[in-house]
Amino acid sequence: KAGVTQTPRYLIKTRGQQVTLSCSPISGHRSVSWYQQTPGQGLQFLFEYFSETQRNKGNFPGRFSGRQFSNSRSEMNVSTLELGDSALYLCASSRTSNEQFFGPGTRLTVL
Partner 1 sequence: KQEVTQIPAALSVPEGENLVLNCSFTDSAIYNLQWFRQDPGKGLTSLLLIQSSQREQTSGRLNASLDKSSGRSTLYIAASQPGDSATYLCAASPPRSGAGSYQLTFGKGTKLSVIP
Residues in touch with partner 1 (CB under 8 A): 4, 6, 31, 33, 35, 42-43, 45, 48, 50, 55-56, 58, 88, 90, 92, 97-105, 107
Closest approach, Cβ 88 to partner 1, in A, equals: 8
Of 20, 44, 24, residue with least CA distance to 32: 24
* Reduced 3-state DSSP string for 40-84: CCEEEEEEEEECCEEEEECCCCCCEEEEECCCCCEEEEECCCCHH
Cβ atoms of residues 16 and 10 within 8 Å: no
Spatial distance between the Cα atoms of 50 and 108, rounded to a whole number of angstroms: 25
Least distance CB 99 / partner 1 (angstroms) = 5
State which residue, 6 or 74, has the beta carbon closest to partner 1. 6
CB nearer to partner 1: pick between 48 and 85 = 48
Residue among 104, 82, 60 nearest 15 (CA): 82
CB of 33 to partner 1, least distance (A): 7
Which is nearer to partner 1, 18 or 109 (by Cβ)? 109
Taking the complex as a whole, how short is the minimal distance between the CB of residue 42 and partner 1, in angstroms?
5
CB closer to partner 1 out of 85 and 106: 106
